């Protein structure tokens, strides 16, 4: 294989030299990497089964002067992308120009504000539509790079890796999407799912970052494509300095050298190939070990069994607490460790005073043991609060999450002291929400079977007839009074084109005057910014907790924008009875 490597280098240099000579003869400057398919013999071998091989250079690598980063080509050195997104604008009644007329200063203000909040599920859905709809990027007081970075920040914060993958695949020409690619690959590698990390390179043919190029070379080796890995490695070595650590590991992975014992935890990729190339791999984490390394050690079964931890060694106990907080150990393992501590009778009886005299980790063990010994509801929740507070003060809140929920569920809610009600409700794990079936009540307009229209179960002509028939019955009932919910529903039907007979116009009064600012933005086509404002208005609130006046206002805006899907979600959440 060493001979193959040397020959490969020789032919590459010869190949490139011939092109340089041709270029020197010509009077016109030529990009040496824009080569016709017939000239690129090496590349043809690697992609011979591709139909459009001429457009799919396996790397198209070029070196930047005075910079040893590998880039794709000159055009990708800057972001010339004008269009980016995932969803079809028509899906939500939006336009490809939804950002074009908006002021970037306002966009940045709202996005930064939203990024600082813990948004409700519905607010997140609005942001999904706003940021991930295929549209032209805004250009007024905001650069393309700035706006794209907000998209990337949102996707990373959301941690929906299927969404991230789809975005990367559908927007291959965005240079800066390598932030997303690295986030994606590192996440799956830290979970010991190398196949998923490598899969992204099947969809992203061109990468510009050294880290990702090395990762791709490694994936090719793991997939048994050593010739392709060698070619890519040689191209990198000819045009830039290779990372010495990766160079050593590459030679081992290719079978050129024997295994070594070099270990690096500079990033998750280096830690992984350290593990991969060393049969006697051993890594001792510490208090400051990053979360991704804890995750990798856990999913790769490289952590010490908690039963082997010496409880007399404070550093080892604190290490387990930190690792549990990072999700590397199960909570039960930590609390089983707490059970091994020995406390005398007086310490257990006077727990509220005794725990203060102990190191924090021993204090937590004492509180937990005392908690297990009591059946008194008031005392149990009091101790739970103390333990929760101790974890929080040590920045270990995640280590006492599931166990706290389990303890709180064992307490009768009716026996919770009033001063602990908020703590109880906030920390008890909510049961999985069951899908609730809508119960129709055809005596009330907003609870009637007309709701099937918003579930896409009834056609417009059919719902038009049903609506007028129901209004005919309601008109005869002199006691019936149209509620806010009724009005929200009928105005939404009208907005969709349902023709309501004029004789029913006086059944209710409705005058929704949208603010001049919103009307102006609608006329100006600033739908993206309007969505940001609505998301900011809802913020952390659940739909069922928002007052009807505000909901009616929001539904009215969605009707004007024709964003049917988001509007329907509101209506189906707040209008019907459910069983």
pLDDT grade, residue 58 (50/70/90)?
very low
Shared domain check, 459 and 331: no
Question: Does a structural domain hold residue 406?
Answer: yes
**Would 86 be classed as within a structural domain?**
no
- 386 and 453 belong to one structural domain: no
**Would residue 102 count as lying in a domain?**
no
Q: 419 and 482 share a domain?
A: no
- Asked which of 396, 427, 458 is the last residue of a domain, the reply is 427
Report the distance separating Cα 260 and Cα 248, nearest Å: 9
Among the listed residues 493, 485, 438, the one whose alpha carbon sits nearest the alpha carbon of residue 466: 493
How much is the pTM?
Answer: 0.70
Ranges of beta strands (E only) in 64-108 are 70-71, 83-84
Q: Is residue 265 part of a domain?
A: yes
According to the model, what pLDDT value does residue 294 have?
86
Last residue of a domain, one of 427, 448, 469: 427
Pick from 70-84, 280-294, 327-341: least confident = 70-84
Give strand ranges (E) for 87-154. Answer: 135-136
According to DSSP H, which parts of 350-459 are helical?
351-354, 360-373, 377-393, 402-409, 421-427, 451-454
Cα dihedral across residues 386, 391, 395, 401: positive or negative: negative
Q: Is residue 160 part of a domain?
A: no
User: Does position 76 have pLDDT exceeding 70, yes or no?
Assistant: no
| 377, 397, 427 - which closes a domain | 427
Task: Answer yes or no: is pLDDT of 79 > 60.
Answer: no
pLDDT-based confidence at residue 204 (cuts at 50, 70, 90)? confident
- The answer to the question of residue 151 being in a domain is no
pLDDT band at residue 439 using 50, 70 and 90 as cut-offs: confident
pLDDT digits (tens, 9 = 90+) for 161-178: 999 999 999 988 787 788
Given this model, what pLDDT does residue 77 score?
Answer: 39
Strands 577-578, 438-439: parallel, antiparallel or unpaired by DSSP? Answer: antiparallel
Summarize pLDDT for 354-371 with one digit per residue, the tens. 999 999 999 999 999 999
What is the predicted pLDDT for the residue at 578?
A: 57
- How many domains are there within the chain? 3
Asked, for residue 158, whether it belongs to a domain, the answer is: no
Q: Is residue 136 part of a domain?
A: no
Residues 503 and 457 in one domain: yes
Q: Are residues 286 and 248 in the same domain?
A: yes
224 and 269, same domain (yes or no): yes
Q: Which domain holds residue 420?
A: 316-427
Place 317 in a pLDDT band, splitting at 50, 70 and 90.
Answer: confident
Q: Could you tell me if 238 and 324 lie in one domain?
A: no
Query: CB of 207 within 8 A of CB of 311?
Result: no
**Residue 387 confidence (pLDDT) above 90:** yes
Whether 287 and 378 share a structural domain: no
Taking residues 507-524, what's their average pLDDT?
87
DSSP string, 232-280: HHHHHHHHSPPPHHHHHHHHHHTTSS--------SSHHHHHHHHHT-TT
- For residues 475 and 376, membership in a common domain is answered with no
Query: Does residue 12 carry a pLDDT above 50?
Result: no
Q: Which is it for the CA torsion 151, 152, 156, 160, positive or negative?
A: positive
pLDDT at 514: 84
Q: What is the pLDDT of residue 348?
A: 93
Q: What is the pLDDT of residues 258-282, one digit of tens each?
A: 877 889 999 999 999 999 999 889 8
Give pLDDT, residue 80.
Answer: 58
**Could you give the percent of the chain with pLDDT greater than 90?**
51
* 186 and 60 belong to one structural domain: yes
The predicted pLDDT at position 168 comes to 92
Give the per-residue pLDDT at 357.
93
Q: Which of 8-12, 115-119, 219-223, 312-316 has the lowest mean pLDDT?
A: 8-12
| Residue 419 and residue 346 share a domain | yes
Q: How far is CA 349 from CA 335, 355, 405, 525, in A?
A: 20, 11, 24, 69
Which has more pLDDT, 174 or 496? 496
Q: Using 50, 70 and 90 to split pLDDT, how confident is the model at 484?
A: very high
Q: Do 458 and 400 fall within a single domain?
A: no
- Going by pLDDT thresholds of 50, 70 and 90, the confidence category of residue 319 is confident
């Amino acid at each position: 294989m060493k001979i193959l490597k040397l020959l490969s280098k020789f032919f590459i240099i010869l190949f490139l030299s011939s092109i340089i000579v041709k270029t020197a003869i010509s009077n016109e400057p030529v990009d040496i990497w824009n080569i016709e398919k017939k000239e690129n013999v090496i590349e043809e071998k690697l992609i011979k089964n591709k139909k459009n091989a001429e457009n799919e250079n396996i790397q198209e690598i070029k070196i930047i002067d005075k910079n040893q980063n590998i880039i794709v080509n000159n055009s990708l050195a800057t972001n010339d992308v004008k269009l980016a997104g995932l969803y079809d604008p028509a899906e939500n009644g939006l336009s490809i120009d939804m950002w074009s007329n908006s002021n970037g200063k306002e966009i940045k203000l709202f996005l930064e504000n939203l990024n600082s909040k813990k948004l409700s599920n519905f607010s997140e859905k609005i942001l999904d539509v706003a940021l991930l709809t295929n549209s032209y990027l805004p250009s007024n007081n905001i650069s393309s790079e700035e706006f794209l970075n907000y998209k990337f920040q949102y996707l990373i914060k959301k941690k929906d890796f299927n969404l991230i993958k789809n975005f990367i695949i559908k927007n291959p020409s965005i240079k800066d999407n390598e932030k997303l690619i690295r986030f994606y690959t590192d996440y799956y590698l830290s979970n010991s799912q190398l196949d998923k990390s490598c899969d992204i390179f099947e969809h992203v043919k061109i990468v510009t970052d050294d880290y990702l190029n090395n990762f791709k070379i490694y994936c090719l080796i793991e997939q048994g494509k050593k010739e392709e890995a060698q070619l890519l490695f040689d191209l990198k070595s000819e045009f830039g300095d290779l990372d010495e650590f990766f160079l050593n590991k590459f030679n081992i992975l290719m079978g050129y050298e024997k295994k070594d014992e070099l270990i690096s935890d500079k990033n998750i990729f280096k830690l992984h190939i350290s593990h991969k190339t060393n049969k006697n791999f051993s890594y001792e984490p510490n208090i400051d070990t990053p979360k991704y390394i804890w995750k990798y050690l856990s999913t790769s079964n490289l952590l010490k069994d908690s039963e082997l931890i010496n409880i007399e060694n404070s550093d080892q106990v604190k290490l387990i607490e930190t690792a549990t907080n990072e999700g590397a150990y199960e909570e039960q393992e930590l609390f089983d460790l707490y059970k091994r501590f020995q406390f005398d009778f007086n310490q257990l009886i006077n727990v509220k005073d005794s725990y203060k005299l102990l190191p924090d980790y021993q204090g937590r063990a004492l509180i937990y043991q005392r908690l297990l010994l009591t059946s008194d509801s008031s005392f149990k929740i009091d101790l739970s609060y103390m333990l929760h507070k101790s974890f929080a003060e040590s920045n270990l809140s995640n280590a006492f999450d599931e166990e706290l929920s389990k303890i709180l569920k064992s307490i009768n809610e009716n026996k919770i002291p009033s001063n602990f009600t908020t703590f109880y409700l906030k920390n008890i794990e909510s049961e999985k929400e069951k899908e609730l079936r809508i119960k129709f009540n055809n005596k009330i307009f907003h609870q009637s079977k007309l709701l099937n229209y918003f579930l896409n179960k009834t056609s417009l002509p059919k719902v038009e007839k049903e609506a007028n028939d129901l209004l005919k019955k309601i008109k005869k009932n002199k006691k019936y009074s149209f509620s806010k919910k009724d009005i929200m529903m009928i105005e939404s039907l009208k907005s969709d084109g349902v023709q309501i007979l004029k004789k029913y116009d006086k059944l209710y009064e409705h005058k929704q005057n949208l603010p001049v600012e919103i009307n102006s933005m609608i006329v100006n086509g600033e739908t993206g910014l309007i969505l940001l404002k609505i998301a900011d208005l809802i913020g952390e609130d659940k739909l069922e907790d928002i007052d009807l006046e505000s909901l009616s206002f929001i539904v009215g805006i969605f009707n004007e924008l024709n964003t049917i899907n988001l509007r329907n979600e509101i209506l189906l959440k707040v209008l019907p009875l459910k069983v």
